[in-house]
Amino acid sequence: MDIVGLHLSPRKKGNSALMLDEFLRGAREAGASAASYSAADLNIEPCRGCGACEKTGECVIKDDDMGQLYEPLATAPMIVVSTSLFFYDVPAKGKALIDRTQPLWSRRYPLGRTETLRPEGKGFLLALGATKGPDLFVPVALCTKYFFDSIGMPKTFDSLFFRQIEALGELARHPEHLKTIYEAGLAFGRQRPGMDTPR
Ligand SMILES: Cc1cc2nc3c(=O)[nH]c(=O)nc-3n(C[C@H](O)[C@H](O)[C@H](O)COP(=O)(O)O)c2cc1C
Q: What is the pLDDT of residues 33-45, one digit of tens each?
A: 999 999 999 999 9
The β-bridge partners of 128 are: 84, 162
166 CB within 6 A, ligand 1: yes
Q: Are 184 and 160 in contact (CB under 8 A)?
A: yes
What is the per-residue pLDDT for 120?
96
Atom of ligand 1 nearest to the CA of 168: 25
What is the per-residue pLDDT for 196?
65
- Which tens digits make up the pLDDT trace of 159-173? 999 999 999 999 999
115 CA to centre of ligand 1 in angstroms? 36
Instruction: Give me the mean pLDDT over the 170-186 stretch.
Output: 98
131 CB within 6 A, ligand 1: yes
Q: Whose CA is nearest to atom 29 of ligand 1?
A: 86
For a substitution probing ligand 1, which of 6, 12, 22, 87 has the most ligand atoms within 8 Å of its CB? 87
- Which tens digits make up the pLDDT trace of 80-97? 999 999 999 999 999 999
Contacts 24+ apart (CB under 8 A), 151-154: 151/73, 151/74, 151/79, 151/101, 151/104, 151/105, 151/116, 152/74, 152/104, 152/108, 152/116, 152/117, 152/118, 152/121, 153/79, 153/118, 153/121, 153/122, 153/123, 154/118, 154/119, 154/121, 154/122, 154/123
What is the per-residue pLDDT for 194?
85
In whole numbers, what is the pLDDT of the chain averaged over residues? 96
3-190 topology per CATH: Rossmann fold (3.40.50)
Atom of ligand 1 nearest to the CA of 19: 26
Which region among 56-60, 131-135, 192-196 has the lowest average model confidence (pLDDT)? 192-196
- Which tens digits make up the pLDDT trace of 93-109? 999 999 999 999 999 99
Instruction: Give me the mean pLDDT over the 173-193 stretch.
Output: 97
99 CA to centre of ligand 1 in angstroms? 20
What is the per-residue pLDDT for 185?
98
- Which tens digits make up the pLDDT trace of 138-153? 999 999 999 999 999 9
Please say if the pLDDT value at position 3 is more than 60. Answer: yes
| Domain spans, the chain | 3-190
For a substitution probing ligand 1, which of 86, 126, 137, 177 has the most ligand atoms within 8 Å of its CB? 86
Please say if the pLDDT value at position 77 is more than 60. Answer: yes
181 CA to centre of ligand 1 in angstroms? 19
Please say if the pLDDT value at position 199 is more than 60. Answer: no
For a substitution probing ligand 1, which of 36, 166, 168, 173 has the most ligand atoms within 8 Å of its CB? 166
